[in-house]
């Protein structure tokens, strides 16, 4: 075998900064996900179903919801669309559960950390891969609904634009929550199936029992344990709709608190993994 070392020199081309390195992880991760049939199907179906059902609700609101006022409060309805909960769970499970777990399983995490990036860069990049895809279900349909409503003259542009802004904030909150929680679950295991099951457990395993229990014992404070109920409370308040049985400030604190906590714990977990696997 004849071998010669390439003659290039690193010194001739300065290395790009951390931002570009993180961008490389994000771009490669997104490209990889957008080539996976499962990820494409779930994202496309999620965006389509939530958008279509929200727009259908827009058209049929006078028949389905006779007393519903045509003001900003209307947009609390598409924000509380049950398809959002279903598809956000599905997307988090199909796309997000493997983002860290797969790197643990293949031990590629070591490769990443041997590069000039930090654990927080790695986590930030993984979050930036998942968040835009989740926002296809949590933000995009709400904005499109408000846009269609304004284009069709069903709502004034003032209300529609306000609804779009609020949708961006509440949808963004839900996106951040599911991104943080999904990455946390993904960091706990090398098997993405377990992380995916965890996502469903967090959603349906808490939302359904909380709803049943709260109505059975007539104590709405139990609803706080389900992230979806907290989101509904915050979204309802943001759009000026009537209450959902729990107070939005507490709900907001819970959502933000869990998001931040999940982020911190995932970071600590990432710092510890290299030691354990060594």
Partner 1 sequence: MLVETAGLTKVFGEVRAVDDLTVKIPDGAIGLVGPNGAGKTTFLRLLLSLLRPTAGTAKVLGRDIEDGLAVRERIGYMPEHDCLIPDMTGVGLVSYMGRVSGLDRDTAMSRSHDVLQFVGVEEERYRKVAEYSTGMKQKVKLAQAMVHDPQLYIFDEPTTGLDPRGRSEMLDLVGTIAKSPGRNVILSSHLLPDVETICKYVVILDGGHQIAAGELSQLLSGATDRLRIDVRGDRDAFVRLLKDADFDADIGPSGLHVSRKPGLEAAVFETAKSLGAEVRYMGKEIRSLEELFLELVARTEKPGA
Q: Give contact residues for partner 1 (rule: CB under 8 A).
A: 1, 3-6, 8-10, 13, 15-18, 20-21, 24-25, 28, 32, 103, 106-118, 274-275, 278
* Whole-angstrom distance, CA of residue 182 vs CA of residue 190: 14
Give whichever of 153 and 278 is closer to partner 1, judged by the CB atom. 278
Please name the residue that has the structure tokens 């946390």. 184
Q: Which of 53, 47, 45, 41 is nearest to 80 (CA)?
A: 53
Distance of closest approach, residue 116 Cβ to partner 1, in angstroms: 4
Q: Which of 141, 151, 159 is nearest to 74 (CA)?
A: 159
Distance of closest approach, residue 37 Cβ to partner 1, in angstroms: 13
Residues 231 and 174 sit within 8 Å (Cβ to Cβ): yes
Residues 99 and 122 sit within 8 Å (Cβ to Cβ): no
What are the tokens at 275? Answer: 């030691």
Distance of closest approach, residue 159 Cβ to partner 1, in angstroms: 44
CB atoms within 10 A of CB 228: 24
- Helix 157-187 × helix 192-216 angle, to 10°: 120
Give whichever of 6 and 67 is closer to partner 1, judged by the CB atom. 6
Distance of closest approach, residue 12 Cβ to partner 1, in angstroms: 9
Give whichever of 83 and 122 is closer to partner 1, judged by the CB atom. 122
Count how many Cα atoms sit within 13 Å of the Cα of residue 2 in the half-sphere of its side chain: 0
* Whole-angstrom distance, CA of residue 137 vs CA of residue 144: 11
Distance of closest approach, residue 265 Cβ to partner 1, in angstroms: 19
Give whichever of 112 and 200 is closer to partner 1, judged by the CB atom. 112
Give whichever of 16 and 212 is closer to partner 1, judged by the CB atom. 16
Count how many Cα atoms sit within 13 Å of the Cα of residue 275 in the half-sphere of its side chain: 5
Instruction: Outline where 92-191 has alpha helix (H).
Output: 97-106, 108-113, 119-138, 140-151, 157-187
Residues 229 and 215 sit within 8 Å (Cβ to Cβ): no
Distance of closest approach, residue 130 Cβ to partner 1, in angstroms: 17
Give whichever of 14 and 66 is closer to partner 1, judged by the CB atom. 14
Give whichever of 114 and 216 is closer to partner 1, judged by the CB atom. 114
Distance of closest approach, residue 129 Cβ to partner 1, in angstroms: 14
């Amino acid at each position: 075998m004849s071998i010669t070392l390439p003659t290039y020199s690193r010194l001739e081309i300065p290395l790009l900064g951390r931002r570009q390195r993180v961008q490389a992880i994000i771009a490669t991760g997104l490209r990889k996900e957008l080539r996976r049939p499962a990820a494409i199907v779930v994202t496309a179906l999620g965006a389509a179903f939530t958008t279509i059902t929200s727009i259908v609700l827009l058209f049929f609101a006078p028949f389905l919801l006779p007393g519903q006022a045509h003001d900003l409060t209307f947009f609390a309805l598409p924000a509380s669309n049950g398809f959002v909960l279903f598809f956000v769970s599905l997307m988090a499970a199909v796309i997000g559960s493997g983002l860290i777990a797969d790197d643990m399983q293949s031990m590629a995490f070591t490769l990443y950390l041997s590069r000039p990036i930090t654990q927080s860069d790695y986590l930030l990049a993984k979050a930036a891969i998942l968040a835009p895809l989740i926002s296809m279900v949590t933000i995009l349909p709400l904005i499109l609904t408000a846009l269609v409503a304004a284009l069709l003259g069903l709502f004034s542009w003032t209300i529609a634009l306000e609804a779009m802004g609020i949708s961006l904030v509440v949808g963004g909150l839900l996106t951040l929550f599911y991104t943080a929680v999904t990455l946390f679950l993904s960091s706990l295991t090398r098997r993405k199936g377990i992380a995916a099951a965890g996502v469903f457990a967090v959603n349906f395993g808490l939302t359904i029992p909380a709803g049943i229990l709260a109505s059975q014992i007539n104590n709405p404070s139990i609803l706080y344990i389900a992230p979806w109920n907290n989101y509904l409370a915050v979204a309802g308040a943001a759009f000026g709709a009537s209450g959902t049985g729990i107070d939005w400030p507490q709900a907001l604190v819970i959502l933000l608190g869990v998001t931040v906590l999940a982020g911190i714990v995932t970071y600590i977990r990432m710092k510890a993994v290299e030691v354990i696997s060594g």
